[in-house]
Structure 1
Amino acid sequence: MAELGLASRREADEWIAKGWVRVDGEIVSELGSRVGPHQRITVDPAARQAQAQRVTILLHKPVGYVSGQAEDGYQPASVLVRAENRWRGDRSGIRWHPAHARGLAPAGRLDIDSVGLLVLTQDGRIARQLIGEDSEIEKEYLVRVRYDRPGRLPDVFPAEKLKLLRHGLHLDGHALRPAQVSWQNDDQLRFVLTEGRKRQIRRMCEAVGLKVVGLKRVRIGRVRLGDLPPGQWRYLQPDESF
């Protein structure tokens, strides 16, 4: 069901437990049941209705908050999802309900020292779309850096090292996917990645002698951070998609 994009694995488990899933017209009651390629999976409308009520939040994460569970005394970014922090520019038309702040999971990392667009969702399909192993959704970052040689960075930073940032680095024993990396201005790089290993950009920069002094995620797929102020959030609009 997850591979077909019908639901997340957790949702599928819940639906099967509630008797909302049928294979070739027969209710499936056992988790992990095998389904052949020519068999037909159908889902009760009640499951679709429950899925439609799940929300996705776009948050401008400030420095000092972790993306997921609280750690080392730092609060998770989800604590900012309160009625008073909702951006006045939210045009989604969705009415706030306290239940929207429960069960939110981050769809991608943004470390404690980084800022920008963080997606928090109750919808497992969106989480899979953004962070599944086969995801190719682009994430765009603006990264302020320092280098140990004086002068204008685009002039003094070696071209071969910039080429290495684009393709050829390894992290944790894995070759990184090709990335788009270019100079945005005298001390800022623009990165576009299709993967998200832990502290990936910081570690990539360290590997070529750059020190990251500021990192901001400004886009995920077709969804941009835009004018969303730091510490505020909005709903993903019904007509938006990553």
Structure 2
Amino acid sequence: MEKVRISKLMSERGLCSRREADSYIERGWVRVDGVVVSELGARAFPDQVITLERAAQARQTARVTILVNKPIGYVSGQAEDGYQPAVVLVTPRSRAANDRAPLRFERGHLQGLAVAGRLDIDSTGLLVLTQDGRIAKQLIGEDSDVEKEYLVRVQGRLAPNGLALLNHGLSLDGKALRPAHVTWQNDDQLRFVLKEGKKRQIRRMCELVGLKVIGLKRVRIGRVALGDLPLGQWRYLRDHEKF
């Protein structure tokens, strides 16, 4: 059995992100089999017990996750081509009136926010911005198994076996897509449930079976739904909510 970087083990176990692990190790907030580790790059065996000091746990608890109902015309991450990032919507004025989280908005809540699952500029719906590396890894890590649900308005003529192909059988960029769950909601709207998120995946999938997407809205990520969050507004993820 070979030793592995402790930061990698911590990330794989969902304790935190690798970057956070390095930060905690530097501060002496990580123990391996009860012994404090403070050397960056230190390694441990995969079967050793890794625990976090209370200071690290407290820092994680203080990190916020924000849910935004993104309108068309905003990019998910960094500003590009003159378009604003969705994070500019996170202001005291645009906080949803029905946000029941007890948190008071602070400017510090905007620092270090990562987009956990992008939406393209022409799409709307649930966008997750988080300071918590554990949540980011859970939603967009390579081995993420969290469902994302979309309502997709389409036009065009669906290929004879198009619905079956949308569920399983299509490839993008030379790689087979994971099985999806795609059904008709009504005459011009499909419901997609995916466990992956390639760039413009749904739009490209639809093009392959003769359809053009004219409206796309993400309504759920895991067990967290968009619900009645108004367009262009945001709220905090509540303590009891888990993706």
Distance 2:88 2:103 in 1: 19
Could you tell which deviates more after superposition, 25-34 or 67-76?
A: 25-34
**Structure 2 portions without partners, runs of 5+:** 1-9
- For the residue of structure 2 that corresponds to 1:67, the secondary structure is coil
The question of whether the paired residues in 1 share the 8 Å contact of 2:178 and 2:195 is answered with yes
Across the aligned residues of Structure 1 and Structure 2, the Cα RMSD in angstroms comes to 1.1
1:186 aligns with 2:165: no
Aligned partners of 2:159 and 2:209 also within 8 Å: no
Instruction: State the match for 2:51 in structure 1.
Output: 42
Q: CA deviation at 1:187?
A: 0.6
SS at match of 1:2: helix
Select which of 53, 68, 80 maps to 2:89: 80
Write out the 4+ residue segments of structure 1 that deviate beyond 4 Å after TM superposition.
Answer: none
- Matched with 2:3 is none
Alignment of 1:164-203 (within 5 A): 164-203=165-204
Which secondary structure state, in structure 1, belongs to the residue aligned with residue 154 of structure 2?
strand
State whether structure 2 residue 63 is matched by structure 1 residue 54.
yes
Q: What corresponds to 2:227 in structure 1?
A: 226
1:42 aligned partner, one-letter code: T
- Confirm whether residue 19 of structure 1 aligns to residue 24 of structure 2: no
2: CA distance, partners of 1:208 / 1:35: 49
Partner of 2:126: 117
TM-score normalised according to structure 1 size: 0.94
Conservation of the 8 A alpha-carbon contact between 1:143 and 1:216:
yes
Counterpart amino acid of 1:145? V
2:150 aligns with 141
Q: CA deviation at 1:41?
A: 1.6
Q: Is the 8 A contact 1:82 1:101 kept in 2?
A: no
Q: Is the contact between residue 149 and residue 221 of structure 2 (CA under 8 Å) also seen in structure 1?
A: yes
Write the distance in 2 (CA, Å) between the matches of 1:76 and 1:37: 40
* Farther-moved stretch of structure 1 (179-188 vs 24-33): 24-33
Specify which of 14, 20, 33 is matched with residue 42 of structure 2: 33
1:125-151 Cα offsets, whole Å, 9 max, x none, are 000111111111110000011105xxx
In structure 1, what is the Cα distance between the partners aligned to 2:185 and 2:34? 56
8 Å Cα contact 1:166/1:179 also seen in 2: yes
Q: Structure 2: which amino acid aligns with 1:99?
A: G
Unmatched segments (≥5 aa) in structure 1: 149-156
Structure 1: distance between partners of 2:159 and 2:173: 25
Distance in 2, matches of 1:171 and 1:94, equals 42
Q: 1:47-97: per-residue Cα shift (whole Å, max 9, x none)?
A: 000110000000000011111111111111011111111000101222211
User: Which amino acid in structure 1 is aligned with residue 146 of structure 2?
Assistant: I
Q: Which residue does 1:129 correspond to in 2?
A: 138
Is structure 2 residue 77 aligned with structure 1 residue 93?
Answer: no
Structure 1 position 25, deviation (Å): 3.0
Kept in 2, the 8 Å contact 1:165–1:205? The answer is yes
